[in-house]
Chain A
Amino acid sequence: MSSPLDIYPISEEAPERAVSASGMPLDRLTLDAVVSGQVGARDIRISADVLKLQAGIARAAGRDRLALNLERAAELVEVPQDVILETYEMMRPGRISDPAPLSERAEMLRREYGAHSIAALIDEAVAVYERRNLFRRRY
């Protein structure tokens, strides 16, 4: 019976499954490819599929919290950097005085990126922030 642990480390045990966000497989990420200009910024980004594989490996290793985090990460792979940073900023205490924009952000991430567990995390934050009065301006 095979376990997700059998493919760890992926770079050694299943390199064919290590494919970057752009779809470039690991074996094409060579020095020659870099020198000849065939490697761009997106080619050195991790893919959601690989993060899900690592989540499965973590879970099989008895590390379910880490697995959940890696699954949340997989949902964020396609989320642009500025959206990530803006969302992070909104989640910090005292940035917004009204919970609505944060709830809307959760909904947008769910709708546009299928980021369900990220959205659930944000929804949970909204509920606790309201109860703990964190929707108040700090500056």
Chain B
Amino acid sequence: MTSPPRWRRFDEWDTRPLRHDQFAVEDPEAGFATFHSPWDPAPSARVENGRVVEIDGKPEAEFDILDSFIAAHHLDLDVIDEAMAMDSGEVARMLVDINVPRERLERLARGMTPAKLASVVSHLSSLEITFAYSKMRQRRTPGNQAHVTNAKDDPLQLAADAAVAVALGFDEIETTMRVASNSWSNAIACAVGASVGRGGVLFQCSIEEAEELRIGMAGFTSYAETVSVYGTEAAFVDGDDTPWSKAFLTAAYASRGIKARCTSGASAELLMGFHEKQSVLYLEARCLCLQRAMGVQGTQNGGIDGAPLTVSMAGGMRELMAENLIAVWLGLECASGNDTRVSESEIRIGAKITPYLMAGSDLLCSGMGSIRKYDNSFNPSLFNGEDVEDFLALQRDLEADGGLTPIEEGDIRELRMRAIKALAAVFRELGLAEIPEAWMLSVAAASGSLDTETFSTGEVTRISEAIRDRGLTAVDAVRALEKHGFVHEAENLLLMLRQRISGDYLQTSAILRDGKVISALNDPNDYQGPGTGYRMSEARRQAVNGVRDLQTREKVLDTERRVDPTAEPWLIAGREANKGTDPREVVIGLSPAFGNELTQTTAGHDLIDVVLALTDGVREGGGNPRLVRIRHTADTSFLGLTAARLSGSGYAIGIQAKGTAVIHRAGRLPHMNIELFSNAPITTLDHYRAMGRNAALHALGREPEPVIVPTEGQALGARYHVRVAMLYAIETGLVIPDAPPLELALSIGQGGMQQ
């Protein structure tokens, strides 16, 4: 015997998208550890003479830059002894206890070292982390952030796509460039595009810090999240900063009225080669303590660029949620990652986002790609333009608010063109460019930059440099918009400038809704169990549920029930049907709505053709078909059995209008049929003909091979059951209890069939 063959299922698995993903073994020495590493310190803290002199086993003399900053600015001396003395498991239980208020836990976090915070959340399962996150997150109303970029840095496309992102409900949009010198063009294009429609959306242009501050000062942008921090000293220095330089930068952003958040995420240190053999969660806990210490209002956290590496490890997705939990527990706004495409498997992608949809988050994605994957200059996001509708469906499935709202095709047409025209007006007014109409039409229709006829990247650079060199500001854009009739857009852009003066969006977790700031201060998460915390309003629920192409009864009946009242009836009912005597007879029992209220199967076959296929098949098999109308039932089995009891041969076919059909024999139990076509949507006329033939062969005492309707595994329920249920209700509505079957004459077909 040769060796056993390879199971071909493995060949198939090898071709699945999942197999592109890499999975790594746990190896703490190499930095591959999610929650625990033997090199992680045990939690400890010691205070002497009003100073913290030990953190997590390290004496003050050995403090690195992170320890020093955390000791000086994070740890609260009034809380530290109490918090550090508590049992980690006990604190973990408090995190999931609806009776322990968020504020009490936040107070304790202010006295906990990174190792302590990590040890607490390590006690929690994925479910418990999700639940604790829903309780501890800062703003009650969830929100979301979009990436708006394209591969050409095309300002027209940026404007149109920014307008779409705003229409979809994103609270923040973030852009970046392929070519750094295009930043000013990107900034003005997104700012103008985002002013179309709803308006009031925070906007960021991600670039080198000095330039980002300048663009912010010019009024185009309103937030920044490029303030990266790292969990080891070596990585921090390699990242070209220290906690003090970042704290200074954070204050600098606020001094210009720009909302800022830090960025950190698991595995960044691992990618940079400075992990010190410590678990990614412990390193991230250090980052987060540091961020609170710096006084930044929030964090972009949860893997970010390191997310794919983190999920290559066992428990990686759980770890990403755990670090998000530490962030909100420390009182930080959390833009909770879910940005980098962590997998090629759509199943893993859907699983990744689900806990966040259920728990809610200040910003579920710290950049969902609202554009096509290839246009994302940050790299593809977890969800992208291609799968925005999948996200909308998940919101609806879970009745969870992920911050997005379905959009209407017609509205979007108008919106995209208006954004493009608004930007064209600004460019014209400011003497930056004249836009040909052909470009406008091309960009308005384009799904991505591969489809566009527009500026070359070099032309964009010239526009961008002109904006910078001439010192143009958002005020100039407001004036240009107003002058060219874009008054609504001018008002929206001005709204963002007015908000900057009041500084309201500098507070924790601030976004704008309906032109007003909501934050952790005036919309605090007050979750304390069922009936509390965020609940969608009825209007919001309706909006979330209104995804594209909803099936309604009217719509289904209009398309499926093509009854022509002027047509001659082709099935003519006669007297009550009796039992036949012809041993070659095959009765075909038609359901109550067959051929009158309903005229086609779910596969789209006209019922006339179906009847002709069945009757022709019966004749081919040597039988004689006889049609009856069954009125007391619409159930396939009972249609078949009723017909069989009328049949001279004892064999019959029962069929519903939607096309489900059965061969039955008198005397059998109702559900013990002989052959069944249960998948009407994939049943062809040839199958019906073959069924007729087989019924006849059974009648003649033969034993034909059953007809098999092959399925390719389609989700037929998903594809058809809404329509089936609506149509089947018509059948059942026509059922008359106890009404006897009637003879049916067919007025058309092979010589007609007279009874």
Q: Which residues of A contact B (CB under 8 A)?
A: 5, 8-12, 15, 18-20, 24, 26, 29-31, 34-35, 37, 39-41, 43-47, 50-51, 53-54, 57-58, 61-63, 65-70, 72-77, 79, 81, 84-85, 87-88, 91-94, 118, 121-122, 124-125, 128-129, 132, 134, 138
Among B248-256, B430-438, B457-465, the stretch that binds chain A is B248-256
CA distance A10 to B550 in the complex (A): 43
Classify chain B's interface size: 35 or more
Contact A18 B501 (CB under 8 A): yes
With known contacts A45-B217, A134-B237, A9–B516 Cβ distance under 8 A: yes
Contact A65 B73 (CB under 8 A): yes
Contact of A93 (CB < 8 Å), options: B242, B474, B500: B242
Contact B254 A73 (CB under 8 A): yes
Which chain A residues lie closer than 8 Å to B522 at the CB level?
Answer: 8-9
Residue of B nearest to A41 (CB): B473
Contact B293 A65 (CB under 8 A): yes
Residue of B nearest to A62 (CB): B103
User: Which of B68, B69, B252, B471 neighbours the largest number of chain A CB atoms within 10 Å of its CB?
Assistant: B252
CA distance A81 to B505 in the complex (A): 22
Contact B502 A124 (CB under 8 A): no
Shortest CB-to-CB span from B430 to chain A, Å, is: 14
Shortest CB-to-CB span from B80 to chain A, Å, is: 15
CA distance A138 to B214 in the complex (A): 26
Contact of B245 (CB < 8 Å), options: A10, A54, A73, A125: A125
Shortest CB-to-CB span from A115 to chain B, Å, is: 10
Which chain B residues lie closer than 8 Å to A72 at the CB level?
Answer: 247-248, 251, 254, 295
Shortest CB-to-CB span from B292 to chain A, Å, is: 6
With known contacts A66-B295, A68-B295, A118-B251, A134–B503 Cβ distance under 8 A: no
With known contacts A88-B209, A93-B240, A31–B507 Cβ distance under 8 A: no
Shortest CB-to-CB span from A20 to chain B, Å, is: 5
Contact B252 A44 (CB under 8 A): no
Shortest CB-to-CB span from A13 to chain B, Å, is: 9
Contact A26 B502 (CB under 8 A): yes
CA distance A100 to B516 in the complex (A): 47
CA distance A74 to B254 in the complex (A): 8
B480-503: which residues lie under 8 A (CB-CB) from chain A? 482-483, 487, 490-491, 494, 497-503
Shortest CB-to-CB span from A84 to chain B, Å, is: 5
Shortest CB-to-CB span from A114 to chain B, Å, is: 14
Contact A81 B244 (CB under 8 A): no
The contact sample of 18 A-B pairs, CB cut-off 8 A, is A11-B498, A18-B502, A29-B501, A30-B494, A31-B490, A34-B490, A35-B479, A41-B219, A63-B331, A65-B292, A66-B296, A69-B297, A72-B295, A74-B255, A88-B248, A93-B241, A129-B242, A132-B65
With known contacts A65-B294, A118-B251, A11–B244 Cβ distance under 8 A: no
CA distance A88 to B240 in the complex (A): 11
> Does B323 touch A at the CB level, under 8 Å?
no
CA distance A112 to B257 in the complex (A): 22
Residue of A nearest to B293 (CB): A65
Contact A124 B244 (CB under 8 A): yes
Q: Which residues of B contact A (CB under 8 A)?
A: 64-65, 68-69, 72-74, 103, 106, 209-210, 213-214, 217-219, 233, 236-237, 240-242, 244-245, 247-257, 292-297, 331, 471, 473-475, 478-479, 482-483, 487, 490-491, 494, 497-504, 506-508, 516-517, 519-522
Which chain A residues lie closer than 8 Å to B508 at the CB level?
Answer: 58, 61, 63, 66
Shortest CB-to-CB span from A123 to chain B, Å, is: 10
With known contacts A8-B522, A65-B295, A134-B242, A34–B494 Cβ distance under 8 A: yes
With known contacts A34-B479, A84-B213, A69–B502 Cβ distance under 8 A: no
User: Which of B103, B294, B471 neighbours the largest number of chain A CB atoms within 10 Å of its CB?
Assistant: B294
With known contacts A11-B499, A41-B475, A46–B516 Cβ distance under 8 A: no
With known contacts A8-B504, A11-B517, A15-B502, A121–B244 Cβ distance under 8 A: yes
What 5 A-B pairs are tightest by C-beta distance, nearest first? A69-B295, A73-B254, A46-B257, A125-B244, A76-B255
CA distance A35 to B483 in the complex (A): 8
Contact B482 A31 (CB under 8 A): yes
Residue of B nearest to A24 (CB): B501
Contact A88 B295 (CB under 8 A): no
Contact A26 B501 (CB under 8 A): yes
Contact of A69 (CB < 8 Å), options: B69, B210, B251: B251
Contact A8 B248 (CB under 8 A): no
Which chain A residues lie closer than 8 Å to B478 at the CB level?
Answer: 31, 34
Contact A44 B506 (CB under 8 A): no
CA distance A88 to B210 in the complex (A): 9
Contact B68 A73 (CB under 8 A): no
Shortest CB-to-CB span from A12 to chain B, Å, is: 7
Which chain A residues lie closer than 8 Å to B252 at the CB level?
Answer: 73, 76, 84, 88
Which chain B residues lie closer than 8 Å to A31 at the CB level?
Answer: 478, 482, 487, 490-491, 494
CA distance A136 to B233 in the complex (A): 15
Shortest CB-to-CB span from A9 to chain B, Å, is: 4
Shortest CB-to-CB span from B276 to chain A, Å, is: 15
Contact A9 B297 (CB under 8 A): no
Residue of B nearest to A34 (CB): B478
Which chain A residues lie closer than 8 Å to B103 at the CB level?
Answer: 62
Contact A10 B502 (CB under 8 A): yes
With known contacts A11-B499, A46-B257, A69-B294, A92–B213 Cβ distance under 8 A: no
Which chain A residues lie closer than 8 Å to B473 at the CB level?
Answer: 41, 44
Which chain A residues lie closer than 8 Å to B214 at the CB level?
Answer: 81
Contact A121 B218 (CB under 8 A): no
Which chain A residues lie closer than 8 Å to B487 at the CB level?
Answer: 31
With known contacts A44-B475, A57-B507, A91–B245 Cβ distance under 8 A: yes
Shortest CB-to-CB span from B226 to chain A, Å, is: 13
Residue of B nearest to A77 (CB): B255
CA distance A15 to B499 in the complex (A): 10
User: Which of B252, B254, B500, B507 neighbours the largest number of chain A CB atoms within 10 Å of its CB?
Assistant: B254
Contact of B507 (CB < 8 Å), options: A15, A29, A41, A58: A58
CA distance A76 to B64 in the complex (A): 28
Contact B237 A54 (CB under 8 A): no
Residue of B nearest to A68 (CB): B295
CA distance A121 to B494 in the complex (A): 35
With known contacts A63-B508, A72-B251, A88-B209, A39–B241 Cβ distance under 8 A: no
CA distance A26 to B501 in the complex (A): 7
CA distance A11 to B505 in the complex (A): 10
CA distance A54 to B506 in the complex (A): 8
Contact of B64 (CB < 8 Å), options: A39, A53, A62, A132: A132
Shortest CB-to-CB span from A132 to chain B, Å, is: 6
Contact B504 A9 (CB under 8 A): yes
CA distance A86 to B356 in the complex (A): 40
Contact B245 A88 (CB under 8 A): yes
CA distance A75 to B295 in the complex (A): 15
CA distance A34 to B255 in the complex (A): 23
Which chain A residues lie closer than 8 Å to B519 at the CB level?
Answer: 9
Contact B506 A128 (CB under 8 A): no
Which chain A residues lie closer than 8 Å to B517 at the CB level?
Answer: 9, 11
Contact A94 B255 (CB under 8 A): no
Which chain A residues lie closer than 8 Å to B494 at the CB level?
Answer: 29-31, 34
Which chain A residues lie closer than 8 Å to B242 at the CB level?
Answer: 91-93, 125, 128-129, 134
With known contacts A65-B295, A69-B247, A125-B244, A44–B504 Cβ distance under 8 A: no
With known contacts A5-B521, A8-B521, A41-B475, A85–B502 Cβ distance under 8 A: no
Shortest CB-to-CB span from B755 to chain A, Å, is: 81
